[in-house]
A and B are shown apart, each in its own frame.
Chain A
């Protein structure tokens, strides 16, 4: 079974600073995918970034980058140059090795990020 752990229930960051949101995972699969989603107060889940377990390069999408350390089983999200609009709940998720055509995501409990002036 897969498990995602996000140990930071809440984080504060100053506007324009960088922030790292922690995520560790546990799986026995050799091939898996890691995702980060943002959930603003409106409730919608917004896909941010994806990292495959065999990807050698860390994923980047604009101001988001994923610090993937496979040996440590960590997949931390780094947000550079924080903006007020980044204030939201952030979820780390994992997709196990594909079997049966499904795509089951296991989510962590989330980190509430607040960006301050």
Chain B
């Protein structure tokens, strides 16, 4: 069966510090991968998606970037965090061709 991991589960970072969130998927190969952000009390906003190694599509201009160095690894990064980067970050995967998406447990990021 497939599982998706995210870490860390929670993170508190000062403004201006770097960020690296990691997501890995087990039990499948060549998945589509996605990063979402959920602001408090809001729906999910798609940030990035990837259909393969090194292939990243950005959905909204922002202070964040994503990379996919390995088939089942998806990393969300920032060089300098802003207060507005606070939120709940969810990674998801789907089969290729795509069907429903399966989400990880999320990372709660607070930028102070």
Using a CB–CB cutoff of 8 Å, the interface residues on chain A facing chain B are 4, 35, 37, 42-47, 50, 91, 93, 95, 98, 100-110
Give, as a whole number of angstroms, the nearest-CB distance from B88 to chain A. Answer: 6
For the complex, give the distance between the alpha carbons of A46 and B96 in Å.
Answer: 19
Q: A47-B102, A95-B98 are in contact. Are A102 and B51 (CB under 8 A)?
A: yes
Please report which residues of chain B, range 27-80, place their CB below 8 angstroms from some CB of chain A when the two chains form the complex: 32, 34, 42-46, 49, 51, 57, 59
Contact count band on B? 20 to 34
Q: A43-B88, A91-B44, A108-B43 are in contact. Are A102 and B108 (CB under 8 A)?
A: no
Using a CB–CB cutoff of 8 Å, the interface residues on chain B facing chain A are 32, 34, 42-46, 49, 51, 57, 59, 88, 90, 92, 94, 96-106, 108
Give, as a whole number of angstroms, the nearest-CB distance from B55 to chain A. Answer: 9
Q: Is the interface of A mostly helix, strand, loop or mixed?
A: loop
Among B42, B59, B99, residue most surrounded by chain A Cβ atoms (within 10 Å): B99
Structural contact, B100 and A50, CB atoms closer than 8 A = yes
Structural contact, A103 and B94, CB atoms closer than 8 A = yes
For the complex, give the distance between the alpha carbons of A50 and B42 in Å.
Answer: 22
A-B contact pairs, 8 of them (CB 8 A): A44-B106, A45-B90, A46-B103, A91-B44, A101-B51, A101-B98, A102-B32, A105-B34
Give, as a whole number of angstroms, the nearest-CB distance from A11 to chain B. Answer: 16
For the complex, give the distance between the alpha carbons of A45 and B51 in Å.
Answer: 21
